[in-house]
Amino acid sequence: MLLHLIKKEFVVIQKQTLWMIGLVILIPLFILWRLPQYANYLGFVFSVIYGTFIMLSYICLAEYQCEKASAYLCTTPYPRKYLVLSKYFFCLIVYLFCALMFRLETLFLPQLGGLSLPLAGGAFLLIALLCGIYLPICYYFGYDKTKFVYVIIVLGLSYLLPSMMKFNITNSISRLFMGTSPNLAGAGIFLAGILIFALSALVSVRIYDRKDLV
């Protein structure tokens, strides 16, 4: 049942899928061209953020434009919590796709570096924070009142780029967990991201259960 709803999320954004795949592939290449010394971590982090968060925003926009569709789904055998959880699993799948695409790119372009566990964990924690905060707010206030959050994040990333250029995720994680192996530190950060997603999902489910869709 949940798998059908996850599939529904991908059907909703099927018209945007091809250009979003292109964007995910091109972002690391663009950063490799302009900032080769930062291509590894900035290329992956930016592709994950833009790929996951923009596609999630498209889904929320589509549901806002078709409010009756959400009300109809709630009259079907699908529990409301599944309607919420499908978006969280959607984010996880898009993240995994972005990681796979970046990994394939590193095989053809060694200049991009590798996809280490601390780097993958750091990017996952970041997207868990962004989506984990955005989704409950979106469910509570509605897309129309929270669409500015999307704009702030996209514009904020552009302004934060000079600072992020000096921020090496892998080295920072290693310093933060001194005395711990990088892989163990990366796994711990993955776990933190999963906990954030789980907590956010619980909040979103509770909000959506109480929401009047009529």
Query: What's the confidence (pLDDT) of residue 214?
Result: 55
pLDDT of 71 > 80? The answer is no
The string over 122-140, giving b where at least 16 C-beta atoms fall within 10 Å of a residue's C-beta and e elsewhere, is: bbbbbbbebbbebbbebbe
Query: What's the confidence (pLDDT) of residue 160?
Result: 67
What element of type H or E holds 114?
Answer: none
Q: What is the pLDDT of residues 83-105, one digit of tens each?
A: 899 999 999 999 999 999 999 99
| Pairwise CA distance, residues 93 & 199, whole Å | 18
Mean pLDDT of the chain: 82
Q: In this structure, what token pair is assigned to residue 64?
A: 């806002």
Mean pLDDT confidence for 135-143? 88
Q: What is the pLDDT of residues 146-175, one digit of tens each?
A: 877 767 776 776 666 556 555 555 555 556
Query: What's the confidence (pLDDT) of residue 164?
Result: 57
Distances, alpha carbon 166 to alpha carbons 22, 31, 37, 141, in Å: 27, 14, 10, 36
Query: What's the confidence (pLDDT) of residue 11?
Result: 85
Domain residue ranges in the chain: 2-209
pLDDT of 57 > 90? The answer is no
Mean pLDDT confidence for 114-143? 89
Query: What's the confidence (pLDDT) of residue 119?
Result: 86
Query: What's the confidence (pLDDT) of residue 196?
Result: 96
